[in-house]
Chain A
């Protein structure tokens, strides 16, 4: 079977880059700036909860449909997110997906936790609270 090489995976594994270090826990009641509304899943343009925000209560089926990053005049919303935080009011995780309509690889944040998207950086196209991916 013809196969392409896997330099990315091999290199990341060898270097030990694929670890759990991307998860960033936040103290209780300490949602990052721009994510103060309880019930929101918050998506940030830059890593470390910085840059523009796209916040949602339930889902974003396709980031292309969001006009611009909140708090900025940046209009490239698809394939450009770098971090996220779960400020939900229930014990539900938030999931961000590389592809639209909740397809492809995902990154997950539990309530009151967030993360840099790591291998999904600048790839995110949809997101939802688990149970609300519709």
Chain B
């Protein structure tokens, strides 16, 4: 099958979308799709603009709406909304892709920072507030459900959800294709040879299957921790040693760069093939975010 041609430049590449590709769109597509700038450190990818961001103004507006709505019914519903100026934690990129590097491995092993950068005290406050919500009576949860539905109506959320859903599906398939790329598979083979020297007895075939049982078992539990201190879980020294060696091998044998290039290419092709749907969804998402911004501005003014 002939693939759509893509012109790449060092900064931004604009793909003109062809109306001839439109099959079942509800309205004419007259804008263009912009490829994001390549940046392996943040694992920036072409479908990122269509993915749900970790700092999501729509969720923040809905949280504010729900809190007021619950308060109107006399229910104290605690929430720690993500501020619009919040930054993502260092282990994540803006759309929630987990990053892995020598620096991160030396700090977190195969674990990660919190998704939103918060102080320990703020993280603890969030856990405590949301833990209290779980113990509310069922009648309060029914009110929450209605307030949640009303908040979605406020932002007209239903209109723009298709972007996130489609982008997740496309990204999932692109990732699988990237892992099957010849260059990536060859690099994975070299990675095994490199990391074998670190002494992992159950080394998997590919880095995406890390950590294996021998490393994962170094931590106490991998399911629902009861720890609500807000502090990071101590990372076993042996896990850090192996994670750093792993990250170093991914770099030295060219695995990280091969995977990134293959995933970028696969996502660019997916973006080109579904550009009309994605650009239409993106406009709906942008409209939804504008409504959320307006609500938060109005809400802040009312609170003064």
Interface residues of A (CB under 8 A from B): 1-4, 6, 8-10, 12-14, 16, 18-20, 22-23, 28-29, 38-39, 56-62, 64-66, 89-93, 95, 98-108, 111-112, 118-120, 130-131, 133-134
Contact = CB atoms under 8 A, between A and B. Distances in A.
Given A4-B180, A105-B172, 11 more contacts: A2-B182, A6-B266, A19-B166, A20-B166, A57-B224, A62-B223, A66-B223, A90-B133, A93-B52, A105-B168, A105-B171
Contact of B209 (A9, A89, A93, A99): A99
Given A18-B274, A22-B165, A133-B115, A38 B223 contact: no
A133 B112 contact: yes
Nearest to A97: B98
Nearest to A18: B169
Contacts of B213: 64
A124 B77 CA distance: 32
B154 interface: no
Contacts of A61: 222-223
B1 A10 contact: yes
A8 B222 contact: no
B279 interface: no
Interface of B: 1, 3, 23, 52, 54, 59, 62-63, 66, 79, 96, 98, 100, 110-112, 114-116, 126, 130, 133-134, 136, 138, 141-142, 144-146, 148-149, 151, 161-162, 164-166, 168-177, 180-183, 185, 208-209, 211, 213, 216, 221-225, 232-233, 262, 265-266, 269-270, 273-274
A8 B262 CA distance: 15
A130 B145 CA distance: 19
Contact of B164 (A102, A103, A108): A108
A13 B222 contact: no
Contacts of A120: 172
Contact of A89 (B63, B133, B183, B185): B133
A129 to B, nearest CB: 9
Given A58-B224, A119-B173, A9 B266 contact: yes
B49 to A, nearest CB: 16
B62 A58 contact: no
A107 B79 contact: no
A20 B160 CA distance: 11
29 contacts: A1-B183, A3-B182, A3-B262, A4-B177, A9-B174, A10-B1, A19-B166, A19-B169, A22-B165, A22-B169, A29-B142, A38-B138, A38-B141, A56-B223, A57-B134, A57-B224, A60-B222, A60-B223, A61-B222, A62-B223, A65-B216, A89-B141, A101-B211, A108-B168, A119-B172, A119-B176, A134-B112, A134-B225, A134-B232
Contacts of B161: 20, 23
A29 B223 contact: no
Contacts of B176: 8-9, 105, 119
A133 B233 CA distance: 12
A88 B32 CA distance: 38
A130 B115 CA distance: 8
B175 A105 contact: yes
Given A18-B166, A61-B223, A9 B96 contact: no
Contacts of B182: 2-4
Q: Which of A9, A14, A57, A105 has the most CB of B within 10 A?
A: A9
Contacts of B138: 38
A70 to B, nearest CB: 13
A28 B134 contact: no
Given A56-B224, A100-B211, A101-B111, A131 B116 contact: yes
Contacts of A19: 166, 169
Contacts of A28: 142, 145-146, 148-149
Given A18-B274, A66-B223, A101-B98, A4 B174 contact: no
A102 B216 contact: no
A125 B170 CA distance: 19
